[in-house]
């Protein structure tokens, strides 16, 4: 796996070999998004921020440390990256909790008609 060098020259894909401006890139991005929405490949409302958030959450889900997440996303501090890490930790925690409930650990869950409590407890 290669290492990203985020301090390299800007993308030079513009027809004349010049770097894209912020506005040019944004225009190109939203044209692509509209085309993908029309083709049913993405849901309406996709944004740069949403993509950035998704990347941060996905990195956290695969146990990337907060300093690395902050560096990749361009955050000045690890505070926001820590938010992604906490969020990424929720998925495995939730799955583990549901798995415990399904196994009936600690006498907490039984077939009680949808009610949750200790076996034999009146609701």
Provide the percentage of residues in the chain whose pLDDT is more than 70.
Answer: 72
Are residues 65 and 73 in contact, defined by beta-carbon separation less than 8 angstroms?
Answer: no
Burial 105-121 (b: 16+ CB within 10 A, else e): eeeebeeeeeeeeeeee
10 Å Cβ neighbour count for 73? 15
The widest CA-to-CA distance across the chain, in whole angstroms, is 76
Predicted pLDDT of residue 107: 53
Predicted local confidence at residue 44, as pLDDT:
85
Position 2 scores a pLDDT of: 47
Q: Is the distance from CB of 9 to CB of 18 less than 8 angstroms?
A: no
In this prediction, the residues of the chain whose per-residue pLDDT falls under 70 are: 1-14, 88, 105-123
Q: What is the DSSP letter of 24?
A: H
Cα(46)–Cα(53) distance, integer angstroms: 11
- 1-10: which pairs have CB atoms within 8 A and are 24 or more residues apart? 4/72, 6/71, 6/72, 6/74
What pLDDT is recorded for position 58? 87
Gap between the Cα atoms of 70 and 76, Å rounded: 7
Q: What is the predicted pLDDT for the residue at 48?
A: 81
């Amino acid at each position: 796996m290669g290492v990203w060098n985020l301090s390299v020259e800007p993308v030079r894909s513009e027809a004349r070999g010049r770097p894209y401006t912020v506005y040019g890139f944004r225009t190109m991005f939203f044209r692509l998004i509209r085309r993908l929405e029309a083709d049913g490949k993405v849901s309406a409302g996709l944004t740069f921020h949403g993509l950035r958030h998704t990347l941060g959450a996905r990195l956290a889900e695969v146990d990337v440390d907060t300093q690395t997440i902050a560096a990749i996303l361009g955050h000045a501090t690890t505070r926001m990256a820590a938010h992604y890490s906490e969020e990424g930790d929720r998925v495995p925690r939730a799955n583990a909790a549901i798995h415990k409930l399904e196994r009936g650990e600690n006498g907490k869950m039984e077939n009680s008609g949808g009610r949750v409590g200790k076996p034999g407890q009146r609701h």
